[in-house]
Chain A
Amino acid sequence: MEIDVAEPERSQAACERCGRPLESTVACLECGALLRTDEEDPFRAFGIERAFEVDAKLLRKKLLKLQRATHPDFFATQGEAEREAAERATSSLNAAFEILSDDLRRADWLVSAQGGPSRDDERQMPQAFLMEVMEWNEVLEEARDGGTGDPNALATLTSDLDAARTTELAGLERDLTPLPAAGDERLRTVRRRLNALRYIDRALGEIGTLTR
């Protein structure tokens, strides 16, 4: 894992105000200093190791801790610049949390960060998969039109899609552990899995509106 080689320098960075080592790139958890940050790395914002697997409990704990340090209310009596800095810190914290707490968004971020293909680079899916998507849509269309065919079609489709979703999610974890380096074919595979998951989730969402 190349990441570990580059990382120590970062995590050893010290807070300019209290001199203690910095855990997060958003705020110093020791003295509460807000860090002027244009850091886009959600893992660094939370001071956790860059990996697909994230400990949800630890993430929550860190969020609370960091929220306490950056909440704009605590800077109400201070100058405008400090208040604005707190607002910026809070919003970058929230943005980081959104990514870290969502399997799909985390995988998406990791593929790009590891130098893998972007969404636009890797859009086309195999014909066989797209044919399947056509078939899902045909079932959905029939259900929308009142459904003359198989009454269980929607239930069958739902369980197929759920199974496909589980497979792709497990695949994401497998292909991103340990994290592939740039050029690794697994990054392309993950991008394809993310594409597949978007089609799957869209179809499941459609079923949701049909059966509500």
Chain B
Amino acid sequence: MAYSDKVLDHYNNPRNVGSLDKGSDKVGTGVVGAPECGDVMKLQIEVEGDTIVDAKFKTFGCGSAIASSSLATEWIKGKTIDEALAINNTQIVAELALPPVKIHCSVLAEDAIKAAVSDFKAKRAEEASKHTEGAQQ
């Protein structure tokens, strides 16, 4: 199977590879995987207010999975978390010209964004409840 130029570009020159501080209150971490191929993808976002100011990923998987997550981090940087949640896997498929057998890679990237956002929201909610408790004391 031939990869599209855009997949090859992201594969050879992935954007935003790396890690953010998982323990930070501002950072949301999402890890997702595809059991059938064993691919795993970790995507992290750093949020200021409601805006994603930084995003990093680490993916173990095929070229399409790497490209999908690389593209996802590129797209969500600078967006609000709600805008990031609106990103759909079909947009990734279209941008990278993924063939049908690789659509699950784009689903993985979409799931990773959602997992990272939900981790961040959970942290924020926990933080908020701590503050309320603190205020009550």
Q: Could you say which of B33, B36, B119 contacts A130, with CB atoms under 8 Å apart?
A: B33
A199 touches B32 (CB 8 A): no
B40 touches A195 (CB 8 A): no
A130 touches B31 (CB 8 A): yes
Q: Kindly list chain A residues whose C-beta atoms are within 8 Å of the C-beta of B42.
A: 130-131, 134
Given A124-B32, A125-B33, A130-B32; A202-B60 close (CB under 8 Å): no
Query: Smallest CB-CB separation from A126: which chain B residue?
Result: B31
How many A residues touch B, CB cutoff 8 Å? 17
How far does the Cβ of A4 sit from chain B's closest Cβ, in whole Å?
32
How far does the Cβ of B126 sit from chain A's closest Cβ, in whole Å?
15
How far does the Cβ of A38 sit from chain B's closest Cβ, in whole Å?
27
Query: Smallest CB-CB separation from A191: which chain B residue?
Result: B35
Q: Kindly list chain A residues whose C-beta atoms are within 8 Å of the C-beta of B111.
A: 124
Cα A207 to Cα B122 with chains together (Å): 36
Cα A123 to Cα B60 with chains together (Å): 17
Q: Is A77 on the interface with B (CB-CB < 8 A)?
A: no
How far does the Cβ of B105 sit from chain A's closest Cβ, in whole Å?
13
How far does the Cβ of B116 sit from chain A's closest Cβ, in whole Å?
11
Q: Kindly list chain A residues whose C-beta atoms are within 8 Å of the C-beta of B115.
A: 127
Given A127-B31, A130-B32; A202-B38 close (CB under 8 Å): yes
Q: Is A157 on the interface with B (CB-CB < 8 A)?
A: no
A119 touches B33 (CB 8 A): no
Q: Is A153 on the interface with B (CB-CB < 8 A)?
A: no
Taken residue by residue from 14 to 40, chain B's Cβ proximity to chain A (1 for < 8 Å, 0 otherwise) reads as 000000000000000011111110101
Q: Kindly list chain B residues whose C-beta atoms are within 8 Å of the C-beta of A141.
A: 60
A125 touches B35 (CB 8 A): yes
Query: Smallest CB-CB separation from B60: which chain A residue?
Result: A137
Cα A131 to Cα B19 with chains together (Å): 13
Cα A199 to Cα B61 with chains together (Å): 12
B34 touches A133 (CB 8 A): no
Among residues 74 to 94 in chain A, which have CB atoms less than 8 Å away from a CB atom of chain B?
Answer: none
Cα A140 to Cα B22 with chains together (Å): 22
Cα A179 to Cα B35 with chains together (Å): 24
Q: Is B123 on the interface with A (CB-CB < 8 A)?
A: no
B33 touches A133 (CB 8 A): yes
B35 touches A119 (CB 8 A): yes
Query: Smallest CB-CB separation from B35: which chain A residue?
Result: A195
Interface positions of A (Cβ within 8 A of B): 119, 123-125, 127, 130-131, 133-134, 137, 141, 194-195, 198-199, 202-203
Query: 9 tightest A-B contacts by CB?
Result: A202-B38, A137-B60, A130-B31, A195-B35, A133-B40, A198-B35, A130-B33, A134-B40, A127-B31
